[in-house]
Amino acid sequence: MELFVLALLVNFFSGSLYSCYGEDIKNVSYKLPTVGISVLVRNKAHTLPYFLTCIRDLDYPKNRLYLWIHSDFNEDKSIEVIEKWADKYASLYNGVHITTNSSSGRLHKDEKSSIHWSPEHFKHVIRLRENALEFARKMWADYLLMIDADVFLTNPSTLKELVSKGLPIAAPMLVSDGLYSNFWCGMTDNYYYKRTDDYKPIQRMEKQGCFEVPMVHTAVLVDLRSRASDHLTYNPEKIRYYDGPQDDIIAFAVNAKNHDITLFVCNDDLYGFAPVPLEDNHDPKSDFEQLLNIKTEAIGRGSPLPLDEHLQDYVKYPDLWKFGCSEIYMINLERRNERRELMELSFKELGMDVKHFMAVDGRNLDMNNLKDLSITLMPNYEDPYHKRPMKAGEVGCFLSHYYIWEEIVEKRHAITLVLEDDIHFVPYFRNRFMRLMREISTLDWDLVYIGRKILLDDEEQYATQHTTRPLYSYWTLGYLLSERGARKLLAARPLDRMLPVDEFLPIMFDQHPNATWKAHFQTRNIEAYSAAPLLVHPTHYTGQEGYISDTEDSDLVTDAPHHYKNELSFFELFHCKCHESNEYYVSEKVYRRAFSSGAYEDLVWEVAASVRESYAELRDSCAALQCAADALGDALPRPAAPCDEQRRALQACYAAHELQPLKCHHLVKEFMRCARRHALHSHS
């Protein structure tokens, strides 16, 4: 047997008031307690880079910490990861004791797989946990943190917070999939898990604090300073009259109770995450999917798992693809960088090839000058919940979706996924989404929600095993849209009677309860479905800490009728389709003024009037579109600046095909789409 042991046990009781990273432990006139951290590692090369990074990041003086790590029965690179991390960071700690066994083989004699909890497997884990406990006692540690190698303490203050509570045994509540966590609120007389009414309020953090419970596991801080702690054990053979299973965590909990040592779980902060353990009959490779679930959950909560740069080579990401869609869009406001960065992390983890679509910001819409029809809000619109007119943020939100619908039609995208930027993905999203795609391939559909606020859940009828026919719903968190569906939405001319996009969509599949609003749209023939269960949810709900609404936190739109005098209006005047015509030149007067004047905004409207006069004669050509593009490009260089690449391509095309401008029509539309969007972002 080959054993590798690294022991750096130096001056255990020496220390200072500063950690290895120089953080000042303020308002403390004494040294913090010494803490041992015990970890058992088996086939965790995929979790160790994150786990060890979280351990490194703990805001606790490293000269008051020592690590006890044991790893064996591996069939991956767990030992290599541990040793690489130790080479870099072990010297920072009071002590690091690492034992690895590379010749143990892959399985215990009675195991069917590495996740099979056979009797020999249990005995081995019990023996190792007992060794860690005894080692901590011999080192005169004040505390022992017994933690699994797939726990991610994303809150650096976790250890300091738990120590400060002064509890005999305390576990930080860990977030996982669904209702799973690292504590029980009830235990039967036969030592099985018992459901209680107390569990959900604690797990969901509806009640916060530290709560007495019969069982904690996975990450447990034990106070070794009391005499009673000398009786703690993981070994059932040391427990008098024990009649429970050969299980380390149950034996520990029962023995603690026998000696009147209370166990607590603390949920007063978001401490970290842990995956749901695999069952004996699962494929060990499923642990990678469990880790992905935790990573996307952590991202959705704004606490992505940290990753040390020295361990990045051990993390692999899937190849990017479009999940069977022609395009995937993520709508994001330019000023919401934090949302975009979190979403991009999720896309990277999931392997989603996503196009960032810059949202129209309601803050930049000019609501005051009401001239020259552009957008008209629906008369007498009133928000059903807040009883108020439409807000600027809702206008921007609608336009963001609207421009995507335009692009779907122009680029002939067969299937498009549209996502907003404040969502998190459900566990096993990839598998569930592809299952949805297979099911809807048998349906005649235009729109399929994957995220929304369901108002009449019990009344919705199933169309397939995992889809329903949606009734009136709120939100547009995520949806699939066909090219036919996009054409139907545009054909309704919603800019002539605008209302919020999540009110417009139910109208279009004829499930809106407001008959007055529906009457504005005579053709309501969208074939709509919804994923059931839903595949994305909001990252925050109204009233939660961190909740931000870019629609609610914007100005009301008042003084109907409502129009916008800005670059958007300018573009809407010249939105036309190109037919078979080679007419190219608009009046020399229009071009001369467009290229020579510096009176930018005033000129736009003068050019608009001139082009509008010529437009009647050029109805079947691209000339008006070209003039509009040139006018904005030259008369409004500031908002058009982000579109220089498109403009240069357009000008080069015109130079090459001076007498056949139709060959450049696709570049005209690319330039217009870009300039129109950026004009809105830049307008103030």
User: In this predicted structure, what is the pLDDT of residue 392?
Assistant: 79
The dihedral built from the CA positions of residue 133, 138, 139 and 143, taken in this order, carries a sign that is positive
The whole-number pLDDT of residue 366 equals 59
Q: How far apart are CA 102 and CA 106, in angstroms?
A: 9
- DSSP per position, 279-329: PTTS-TTHHHHHHHHHHHHHHHTT-PPP--GGGGGG---PPPB-TT-SEEE
By the 8 A CB rule, do 493 and 431 touch?
no
Average pLDDT in the chain: 82
As annotated, the residues of the chain forming the CATH 3.90.550.10 domain(s) are 3-272
For 495-650, list the strands marked E by DSSP.
Answer: 528-531, 536-538
C-beta separation of 45 from 84 below 8 A:
no
- Copy the structure tokens of residue 116: 């099979």
Both ends of the chain: CA-CA distance in Å?
Answer: 73
C-beta neighbour count of 352 within 10 angstroms: 24
User: What per-residue confidence (pLDDT) applies to 386?
Assistant: 75
Task: Give the pTM.
Answer: 0.77
* Architecture of the 327-538 domain: Alpha-Beta Complex (3.90)
In sequence order, what are the residues at sequence separation of 6 or more whose Cβ sits closer than 8 angstroms to the Cβ of residue 152?
47, 50, 51, 54, 272, 273, 274, 294, 298, 305
| CATH 3.30.70.1150 applies to domain 3-272 | no
Contact 525, 443 (CB under 8 A): no
- Residue 32's pLDDT is 96
In which residue ranges of the chain is pLDDT below 70?
1-28, 365-374, 540-644, 647, 650-651, 654-655, 657-684
Asked if residues 274 and 153 have their Cβ atoms less than 8 Å apart, the reply is: no
